Structure 1
Amino acid sequence: MTAVLEISGLRKTYRGRKGERRALDGFDMVVEAGQVHGFLGPNGSGKTTTLRTLLGLIRPNGGRMAILGRDVPEQLPEVAGRVGAIVESPQFFGNFTAKDTLTLLADAGGVDHNRVFQVLELVGLRERAKDRVKTYSLGMKQRLAVASALLKEPALLVLDEPANGLDPGGIREMRTLMRTLSEQGMTVLLSSHILGEIQLICDSVTIISSGKRVAYGSVADVLAQHESSSVKVRLEPGVDMRPAVSLLRTNGAEITVEADHFVVGNAGNPAQITRLLSQQQIYVYELTPLAADLESVFLQLTGTAPVEGRNRQVDQTAMAPAGGGWGE
């Protein structure tokens, strides 16, 4: 496959009162043509700095970047017309309508006005095209931003948090749009904190932490490289989970308590769970190995707190030794 985007050894250093801070420290990324590529990282990891540098908004201290085979920022003017992008929060004139906004952008970019209605239809705003932008919700403004990025029918579409402010239905529509654009040959670089969506929509991912790449590859390959040792445990209906949880924690298990079950996160030998519990006449109704998901891999690689809130009670006092699982 042909690489639409190539970044190698990218470095960016900021100087402040506390000295130098390396926002990017030899970062690498490759995005193949026709893919939806997820770009993931916690706040402060260098993700937005990478996108701003790529688009010529920040000058790097070193490394190489290329878009569509052209080195940037030196040759960025040659490919700028084939790149659509949203980076950080989009801003619009509130008294303009969506149609006015996109028409002005079309005129500035030499785009046929028919394209305005096409992109409004694509993002689901055609019925609100004549409403002033100041009456739009945050999610609608995000849709308008995506529409503006699509005006030039770009070969590369760069989207930073496009689902921000969207309800579940809007997120699903955005997912469908990204897949449709990819099937039509457009390459999409998608930055998002909604990891479940990234896992559903993306062909491949890059994970950045502290300015360095910590994972890269197809979603399936990244997940396969970080197999989960977690198992879901459900007791017989009506049985109080607390004695079982206490017993397993005493024996070194890392427990996450959910509403009607619990998860042992370091179950190197799941048989040990049933053995210990049965000795106390506590019987397991369900014992299910959990496959690694993108969120768990992300947390493992970046060492950050969950970005998608889940109502969990996690005990961190009884952790398995490094490199091993409880019950091995």
Structure 2
Amino acid sequence: MVMSSTNSQPYLELDQFRKDYGKLQAVKKCDLKVSKGESLALLGPNGGGKSTIIRSVVGAVHPTSGNIRIDDIDVGTHPNKIKSLLSYLPQRLDFPGMLTARELLYLSAQLRGCSSSRVEEMVKYFSLQEAIDRKVREFSGGMVQRLGLAICFLPEVPLYVLDEPTLNLDPLGSEQFRNLVHELKLSGATILFTSHIIKDAVQLADRVAIVNRGEIATVESVPDFYEAVQNETEVHLVLQSTSEQVFAAACEAGAELTSRNGHQMSFRANPQNRLQVIKAIEAAGGKIEEFRTVTPDWDSLLSDQFALTSEPERS
């Protein structure tokens, strides 16, 4: 299917892109357009094709057929030009363990033509000051990820391509990352990232592409995607007493009952109707003793909402 961006001229475009590994179709023919200044999240199960798409965009994987263009430049034909347009954060960071964070940062800055002041800015941004002279082999997974983000964001480029950027980050690191992405979006940068965290997609992306079994199953605006997530949220109630009248009143008010067991009941309803359902339950004689909402976890949400199943993906 063809997925259009908001502008007629996309900054990043996948045109009939396909990638095979022997008999395995990692990514089937797919089309995707991302506008300049847009942030797009690739979501889906592990092995669905997200990382293959990401690695193909940066030129690390060559298409079996089709092509990828950045700023109307073919990725396969002009790899050196493409490298100057983007910065890439891989999912697996494999830094030389004998080097310090300072050595890696300044080496990366030299390779990308970045100033020492930019290095210092990223060190402060990702709170690396106290670890700057430690060898990377001594770092925790979260500190390695912070270092990877600092290196990725050293160059100020038009396109950032990020594979699971919040992996292993603590809440502070995740907040630092989200703040920087918001700043980059305001400056006009284009961002393509993968994530397994719905919160990141909702907060950081303009659109969400669901990738499953090597295909782009759907592309949704963030408001539409957020509504789909909210509609899957369950409301759990413990009542002083229940009756058929209470259950019937809830359904008439727009609830979809998901369970009823003794004095407990659970239902789904769109966010606009939830209060109406609660009022209907109380009007029918149901006295609510406990109330809580539960958003389904990632795997169950994707399975239920988008009917996704995974299969192996070559990296």
Q: Scaled by the length of structure 2, what TM-score is found?
A: 0.76
Task: Give the counterpart of 1:24 among 9, 23, 27.
Answer: 27
- Mapping for residues 66-215 of structure 1, pairs under 5 Å: 66-215=69-218
Unaligned runs of 5+ in 2: 1-6, 251-255, 311-315
Quickly say closer, same or farther: Cα 1:262–1:73, change in 2 above 3 A.
Answer: farther
User: Distance in 1 between the 2:265 and 2:175 partners?
Assistant: 29
SS of residue matched to 1:165: coil
**2:21 equivalent in structure 1:** 14
- For 2:259, which of 255, 274, 279 is the aligned residue? 255
- AA aligned to 2:103 is D
Superposed CA deviations along residues 107-135 of structure 1, whole A, max 9, x for unmatched, are 23333333221222232213422222222
Count of residue pairs brought into register by the alignment? 287
User: Cα gap change, 1:227/1:170 in structure 2, threshold over 3 Å: closer, same or farther?
Assistant: closer
Deviation at 1:144, TM superposition (A): 0.8
After superposing the two structures, state which structure 1 stretch, 122-131 or 190-199, moved more.
122-131
How far apart, CA to CA, are the structure 2 residues paired with 1:96 and 1:181? Answer: 29
Partner SS state of residue 114, structure 2: coil
Aligned residue for 2:308? 303
Q: d(CA) in 1 for partners of 2:297 and 2:187?
A: 26
Contact kept, 8 Å, 1:232 with 1:261, in 2: the verdict is no
After superposition, give the CA deviation of every residue in 1:68-106 in whole Å (9 maximum; x if it has no partner): 221111123212112100122111122222111111122
Cα deviation, residue 156, structure 1:
0.7
- Mapping of 1:246-325 within 5 angstroms? 253-255=257-259, 262-265=265-268, 283=286, 285=288, 298-299=302-303, 300-304=305-309
Instruction: Go from structure 1 to structure 2 and tell me whether the alpha carbon gap of 1:222 and 1:287 turns closer, same or farther (over 3 Å shift).
Output: farther
Q: Is 2:11 the counterpart of 1:4?
A: yes
Paired with 1:171 and 1:10, the residues of 2 have a C-alpha distance of 32
Q: CA deviation at 1:240?
A: 9.3
Higher relative contact order (CA 8 A, sep 6+): 2
Distance 1:223 1:54 in 2: 27
Q: How far, CA to CA, are the matches of 1:231 and 1:292 in structure 2?
A: 6
Q: 1:143 Cα deviation (Å)?
A: 1.0
Aligned to 1:35: 38
Distance 1:50 1:232 in 2: 37
Question: TM-score, length-normalised on structure 1?
Answer: 0.74
CA distance 1:229–1:124, change in 2 (3 Å): closer
Aligned residue identity for 2:13: E
AA matched with 2:15:
S
> Alpha carbons of 1:262 and 1:4: their partners in 2 closer, same or farther (altered >3 Å)?
farther
Deviations 1:225-252 (CA, angstroms, capped at 9, x unpaired): 788376524233x6699xx99xx9xxx9
Distance 1:133 1:186 in 2: 29
Deviation at 1:61, TM superposition (A): 1.2
Q: Secondary structure at the match of 1:23?
A: strand
Equivalent pair of 1:55/1:73 in contact (CA under 8 Å): no
Q: Counterpart of 1:234 in structure 2: which amino acid?
A: L
Matched residues, percent identical? 27
Structure 1, unmatched stretches of 5+, are 306-328
Query: What is the SS of the residue equivalent to 1:45?
Result: coil
Partner Cα separation in structure 2 for residue 88 and residue 78 of structure 1: 23
Provide the secondary structure at the position in 1 that maps to 2:165.
Answer: coil
